[in-house]
């Protein structure tokens, strides 16, 4: 068995005002809070220049060195924002323009080409940084028809997933060339939002070895999906882990869909670690038993608690849950030397 690495933390929700106004300041703060690694949002120019990272080993060595001087290492790169733009349903074109450079606004084809290149850059940059996995969103073409009225026509879902696979297959092949896994965050709003949809996509890309999963139990709580059984089903594809808590408190007025309410008022909402309902002891136990060898990365998203408090508490929370796996069985002391003849004698076969 293997011991999980951590704690790490995803910087996307922190970068902005001081003390998270520069990469160095953010890393120093996180190191002081008890973190050992940082997951980098590759779309944020304050954090990194993704294109330059793909082109220059010197830049990557410098980036790793700057973070190491703060007492941390890079856990993975994120292309959530760019990956989302690989597949956008026209209903969301205007909203998702905000994820792309201004000169691409109103140009969905050009925007998609830019996104594909960005995600490919992340594969090469990851390899230069010595990383073997990266997280992304897959985007969504079918999501508007998730709960349809009128009923969706026959073949719509199949064609949507076939097109999603056509767009991602060349990207996955590039990741294969670079020796890096794409770990899709299974997430509402994406066409890959549960186990069934992941399996559908995986079949469309012919079980591509680089098609893998970032596991985040908070999204399964909000869907009322068995997040522990999910690990049993997909542990061989789970290569990344976001440690994020959530709670689901149904009431007489709204449920899973949330009634278009703010996060504070929704029955399903994200919480800081330890404040929600996720059974993290069960999760960390299963991941240890299945030899998960990646990082436990905190993603702070909470409707109530300040992000700095959530981050400080999160580091200790992960430390308290990481299981240092044993290298011996607890009853080894009572065992004797084994050999074939002794075993046959004990079975009455000698």
**Omega of the bond leading into 38 within 30 degrees of 0 (cis):** no
Answer yes or no: is pLDDT of 259 > 80.
yes
Domain 5-346 belongs to what topology? TIM Barrel (3.20.20)
Answer yes or no: is pLDDT of 337 > 90.
no
HEC readout, 159-228: HHHHHHHHHHHHHHHHHHHHCCEEEEECCCCCCCCCHHHHHHHHHHCCCCCCEEEEECHHHHHHHCCCHH
SS3 331: coil
Residues 150-167, mean pLDDT to the nearest whole number = 97
Phi, psi of 342 (to 5 degrees): -65, -45
Phi, psi of 295 (to 5 degrees): -90, 145
> pLDDT tier at 218 (50, 70, 90 boundaries)?
very high
Residues 244-251, mean pLDDT to the nearest whole number = 97
Distance of alpha carbon 131 from alpha carbon 61, whole angstroms: 12
Core vs surface per residue 75-98: b (16+ CB within 10 A) or e? bbbbbbbbbbbbbbbeebeeebbe
Smallest CA-to-CA distance from 87 within 12, 155, 184, 181 is with 184
Under 8 Å between Cβ of 283 and 231: yes
Residues 283-312, mean pLDDT to the nearest whole number = 97
**Whole-number pLDDT of residue 345:** 87
Phi, psi of 246 (to 5 degrees): -160, 170
Under 8 Å between Cβ of 227 and 281: no
The tens digit of pLDDT for each residue in 20-78 reads 999 999 999 999 999 999 999 999 999 999 999 999 999 999 999 999 999 999 999 99
Other beta carbons within 10 Å of 229: 12
Answer yes or no: is pLDDT of 331 > 80.
no
**Whole-number pLDDT of residue 144:** 96
Domain boundaries, the chain: 5-346
| Residue 183, strand partner residues | 135, 212
With a CB cutoff of 8 Å and minimum separation 6, the contacts of 259 are 253, 265, 266
Distance of alpha carbon 143 from alpha carbon 145, whole angstroms: 5
């Amino acid at each position: 068995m293997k011991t999980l690495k951590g704690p790490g933390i995803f910087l996307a929700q922190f970068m902005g005002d001081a003390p998270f106004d520069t990469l160095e300041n953010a890393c120093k703060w996180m190191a002081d809070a008890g973190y050992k690694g940082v997951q980098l949002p590759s779309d944020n120019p304050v954090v990194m220049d993704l294109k330059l990272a793909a082109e220059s080993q010197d830049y990557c060595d410098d980036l790793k060195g700057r973070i190491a001087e703060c007492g941390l290492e890079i856990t993975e790169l994120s292309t959530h924002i760019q990956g989302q733009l690989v597949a956008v349903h026209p209903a969301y074109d205007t909203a998702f323009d905000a994820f792309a450079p201004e000169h691409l606004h109103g140009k969905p084809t050009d925007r998609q080409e830019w996104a594909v290149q960005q995600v490919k850059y992340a594969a090469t940059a990851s390899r230069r940084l010595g990383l073997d996995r990266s997280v992304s969103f897959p985007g969504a073409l079918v999501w508007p028809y998730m709960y349809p009225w009128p009923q969706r026509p026959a073949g719509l879902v199949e064609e949507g997933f076939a097109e999603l696979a056509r767009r991602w297959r060349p990207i996955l092949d590039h990741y294969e060339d670079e020796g890096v896994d794409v770990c899709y965050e299974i997430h509402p709003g994406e066409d890959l939002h549960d186990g069934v949809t992941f399996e559908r996509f995986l079949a469309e890309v012919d079980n591509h070895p680089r098609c893998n999963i970032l596991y985040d139990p908070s999204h399964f709580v909000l869907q009322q999906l068995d997040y522990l059984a999910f690990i049993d089903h997909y542990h061989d594809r789970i290569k990344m882990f976001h440690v994020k808590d959530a709670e689901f408190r149904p009431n007489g007025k709204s449920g899973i869909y949330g009634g278009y309410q703010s996060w504070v008022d929704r029955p399903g909402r994200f919480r800081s670690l330890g404040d929600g309902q996720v059974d993290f002891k069960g999760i960390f136990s299963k991941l240890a038993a299945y030899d998960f060898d990646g990082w436990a990365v905190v993603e702070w998203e909470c409707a109530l608690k300040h992000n700095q408090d959530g981050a400080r508490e999160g580091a200790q929370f992960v430390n308290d849950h990481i299981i240092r796996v044993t290298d011996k069985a607890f009853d080894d002391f009572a065992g004797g030397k084994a050999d074939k003849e002794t075993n046959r004698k004990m079975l009455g076969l000698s």
